[in-house]
Structure 1
Amino acid sequence: MQENRNSMLIVIGASAGGMAALKEFVAQIPKHFPAPIFIVNHMGAHTTGDALVKVLNESGSLTCVQAHDKQAFKNGHIYLAPSDQHMLIVKGKILVTKGARENRSRPAIDPLFRSAAVAYGNRVIGIILTGYLDDGTSGMMAIKRCGGVCIAQDPEEASYPDMSQSVIANVGADYCLPIAEMGALLSDLVRRQLPENEQPPEDIVIEAKIAQRVLSDLPSVEALGEQVPYNCPDCGGVLWKVAEEELLRYRCHTGHAFTSSALLAQQTEKLEETLWVALRMFEERQNLLVTMSKIESKKSASSISLRAKDSQVHIDRIRAMLKATDTDDHGA
């Protein structure tokens, strides 16, 4: 990328409903757009992203490619984070890493946004589109703290408004508008005259380095917050609380990071897995006891039958908890 004080970068985060939103977005961007565009769209680990690349190439006049490690980027191109890897930005190039998941996702939006904020400061324009929960909110805070611009899709038109609403509530969007109006806005913003960048805050620099796997030690995480009596649901390690104004986040020293809502969702998922294991074990125990009662003496069989009935009580309780968890999930 040609370096000058006014070179701009566009970073975009999307999740559920992202393909349709991104298709509408890229259709507005002119062919010789004077900035590169970087996109994280949440996707499963076993997908390729090829379908989205094809759709974006067919929908607009810019070239869209999946990013690869140490790739130099150019204006007028779109770079999509590959499946199951984070996409980060440093001066003039892209890093693709297999770092720890953030907010249950890889690729995640926050690592891209933070890395861009550290590398390019006030020349970064962040955009949050449709999606569940709040990935992108912390990263957008980093962009704002480094002097960049925050744009949120109007929640009223978003297929899934959670991410936009979280950014608006916790960061305060500079612009909140429908996708149809973003192209004209960006064409104006990328031509602004900007002051010199200031040094990025140290906590943002630390988190950006953690995402690169440069830092992953206790002193680094302890510099960001205080230890709390919770464990990381992904690796079992101790968590540290990172307070960002009204947004509560948690990190473990191996690199996993969660907002409070993402942590709760992950804990709920792990709890459900544990309950299913417990249900299987109690049912196996009950089946074994029933089998034993059929071949034991009458005295022993009576005792074994009582133990089998006790197991049924636990089975019924676990099934009730699983039904309650299922109801809660659908209510969310």
Structure 2
Amino acid sequence: MTTVCSTGPDANVVDTVVVGGSAGGFNALRALLSELPADFPAAMVVCLHQPVQAHLRFAESLASHSRMPIETAEDGRAIDPGKVYIAGPDRHLMIGADHLHLRRGAHENNFRPAIDPLFRSAAVYRGPRAVGVILSGLMDDGAAGARALSRTGGQIVVQSPETTEFPDMPQATLDAVPSARDVALGDLAATLVDLVGASCADQGKVPWDIGMELKITSLEGSDMESERKLGTLSPFNCPHCNGVLWEIEDGPLTRFRCHTGHAYSIQALNDAQEEALDAGLFNALRAHRGRAELVRKIARSTRNKTSRKTLEARAERIREDTELLERIITRRSGAPRA
């Protein structure tokens, strides 16, 4: 998937809009779609972070607010102008030369589907023909993908943080792509109408690193020898698979990726480490409680008084450690995350 975009009859026209959002993004997308005309001359491909249950009826719930047809994306589906394709649950949605890809690659920024793979695919296969739009959301998924799309000539538009329910995601994209347009929600539709259908430059050669990261997400035969060229080994392990993480310096962004494909912004890595540490502490608490009870049970069945006292003392030490773990968990629960 590392070839440049096609040179067909529409190769010099802006004909693709990719959209990403998270918390508050559904309401923003609904408002945007309600303002776009039925003859909008571009395909729109959308990835919003949603629970699985919400994904199942996502397209249906948006249909009444859109003049354009909306459908849940299917692997191999042709990309037609004037239609909206929505990412379904548990698969990354990406653009190919003239069709959609669904891949069960590793989570990126703790999400699948994630926004970065969609935007990265648009960078490879659309470049100047694409507009990337980042809507309301927490954290910073989409910032790296928007930077990749910008590097291949695509235009980036973000919902103005002042008009979002959650400004983190648009602000992260503005920080990553200084040339991005900051547009109020009420003006997004008009901005897109102005941009799509316009002539654009030919796409140049796709940077190697963008193509390689797309191959990793697409499960297309990348290898550790190639992947390590993306960055340098870090002292951190992947919270998902415990593999070593490569640290990638991407302009103003610091990112991480392991050889199985899990990818993180520095904020997403912090969040994933917090969750992994929390799970580890509760696992340790469960193990200590079970261990203390088992040692007590052995002590009760032991006839030798000396052995029984030794076992009871060991059970008491485990109980003390259990109380210490409980205090650590309680203390952490009241502390704000970094």
Partner of 2:132: 126
- Alpha-carbon distance between aligned partners in 2 of 1:249 and 1:324, rounded to the nearest angstrom: 30
- Alpha-carbon distance between aligned partners in 2 of 1:198 and 1:4, rounded to the nearest angstrom: 12
- Alpha-carbon RMSD: 1.9
Q: Deviations over 1:263-307 (max 9, x none)?
A: 121121111111111101111122233344445455444433332
> Which shows bigger deviation, 73-82 or 155-164?
155-164
When the two structures are superposed, what TM-score results if normalisation uses the length of structure 2? Answer: 0.92
Partner of 2:76: 70
Q: Is the 8 A contact 2:42 2:197 kept in 1?
A: no
Partner of 2:289: 283
Which fold has the larger relative contact order, with Cα–Cα distance below 8 Å and residues 6 or more apart in sequence?
A: 2
- Alpha-carbon distance between aligned partners in 1 of 2:179 and 2:63, rounded to the nearest angstrom: 29
Q: Is the 8 A contact 2:38 2:68 kept in 1?
A: yes
Partner of 1:28: 35
Partner of 1:105: 111
Q: Is the 8 A contact 2:14 2:130 kept in 1?
A: no
Partner of 1:265: 271
Among candidates 35, 47, 50, match of residue 43 of structure 1: 50
> Which shows bigger deviation, 297-306 or 152-161?
297-306
Q: Is the 8 A contact 1:151 1:173 kept in 2?
A: no
CA positional deviation for 1:331: 5.3
1:320 aligns with 2:314: no
- Alpha-carbon distance between aligned partners in 2 of 1:151 and 1:83, rounded to the nearest angstrom: 25
Q: Is the 8 A contact 1:19 1:52 kept in 2?
A: no
Alpha carbons of structure 1 residues 156 and 81: separation in structure 2 relative to 1, 3 Å: same
CA positional deviation for 1:131: 1.5
AA paired with 1:263?
A: L
- Alpha-carbon distance between aligned partners in 2 of 1:26 and 1:5, rounded to the nearest angstrom: 25
Q: Is the 8 A contact 1:234 1:256 kept in 2?
A: yes
> Which shows bigger deviation, 169-178 or 121-130?
169-178
Partner of 1:221: 227
- Alpha-carbon distance between aligned partners in 1 of 2:243 and 2:298, rounded to the nearest angstrom: 41
AA paired with 2:290?
A: E
Q: Deviations over 1:194-251 (max 9, x none)?
A: 2222112111111112222113311221121112222222222221111112211111
1:11 aligns with 2:18: yes
Alpha carbons of structure 1 residues 2 and 56: separation in structure 2 relative to 1, 3 Å: farther
Q: Is the 8 A contact 1:132 1:162 kept in 2?
A: yes
Alpha carbons of structure 1 residues 242 and 184: separation in structure 2 relative to 1, 3 Å: same
- Alpha-carbon distance between aligned partners in 2 of 1:325 and 1:36, rounded to the nearest angstrom: 46
Partner of 2:151: 145
- Alpha-carbon distance between aligned partners in 1 of 2:334 and 2:179, rounded to the nearest angstrom: 34
AA paired with 2:90?
A: D
Which runs of 5 or more structure 1 residues have no equivalent in the other structure?
none
> Which shows bigger deviation, 105-114 or 280-289?
280-289
- Alpha-carbon distance between aligned partners in 1 of 2:110 and 2:22, rounded to the nearest angstrom: 12
AA paired with 1:56?
A: L
Q: Is the 8 A contact 1:283 1:315 kept in 2?
A: yes
Percent same amino acid among aligned pairs? 34
When the two structures are superposed, what TM-score results if normalisation uses the length of structure 1? Answer: 0.93
- Alpha-carbon distance between aligned partners in 1 of 2:235 and 2:221, rounded to the nearest angstrom: 23
- Alpha-carbon distance between aligned partners in 1 of 2:330 and 2:130, rounded to the nearest angstrom: 46
Which runs of 5 or more structure 2 residues have no equivalent in the other structure?
1-7
Equivalent pairs counted in the alignment come to: 330
- Alpha-carbon distance between aligned partners in 2 of 1:184 and 1:68, rounded to the nearest angstrom: 29
> Which shows bigger deviation, 306-315 or 286-295?
286-295
